[in-house]
Structure 1
Amino acid sequence: MKHTCEHRAQCMKVIQAILDDEATEAEKDHFRENMDTCIPCIEAYRLEKCIKDSLNHKIEKKPCPESILNTILTKINS
């Protein structure tokens, strides 16, 4: 098992993509292989997943008011 990760920044990007369901199959496969040997990546994945799960359970999801949406779209299109 590795105790340091020489690709920490890249691994964190992949972890975020996996947790957001945006990772490619190649990224998922590479990360699964890496998870078997890299302690920092295992710990980072567990922490990020825990944070994401906590936020999903604690935050009330509200739709954006139509007026704000229209204001944003107007500014984007002008």
Structure 2
Amino acid sequence: MKVIQAILDDEATEAEKDHFRENMDKCIPCIEAYRLEKCIKDSLSSKVQKKPCPQNILNTIISKING
């Protein structure tokens, strides 16, 4: 699952991508997991509206992090 997530997030190495592609056809659970995760990611990307965080909330978060 970590490799599938890395591939979908475009964070996988070329070696990980190659290994996944080579073995994907041999592993039904891998194929299903990849399709499900991709579907969820695509759905969220098209449905979620990205908005900037209001400055007052950002300031509160930063002040809590900095202690």
TM-score normalised to structure 1 length: 0.78
Tell me which residue corresponds to 1:19.
8
Is 1:36 aligned to residue 25 of structure 2?
yes
For 1:18, give the aligned amino acid.
I
Q: Which has the higher helix share?
A: 2
Matched, 1:73 2:62: yes
The match for 2:53 is: 64
Unaligned runs of 5+ in 2: none
Q: For 2:41 and 2:58, how far apart are their aligned partners in 1? A: 26
Q: Cα RMSD (Å) of the superposition?
A: 1.1
**Counterpart-to-counterpart distance in 2, 1:37 and 1:74:** 50
Structure 1: which 5+ residue stretches go unaligned? 1-11
Calculate percent identity across the aligned residue pairs. 85
Aligned length: 67
Measured in 2, the distance between the counterparts of 1:26 and 1:70 equals: 41
Higher RCO (CA 8 Å, separation ≥ 6 residues) = 1
Mapped to 2, the partners of 1:15 and 1:32 lie a distance apart of 11
Q: Which consecutive segments of 4 or more residues in structure 1 shift more than 6 A?
A: none
Query: What's the offset of the Cα at 1:36?
Result: 2.3
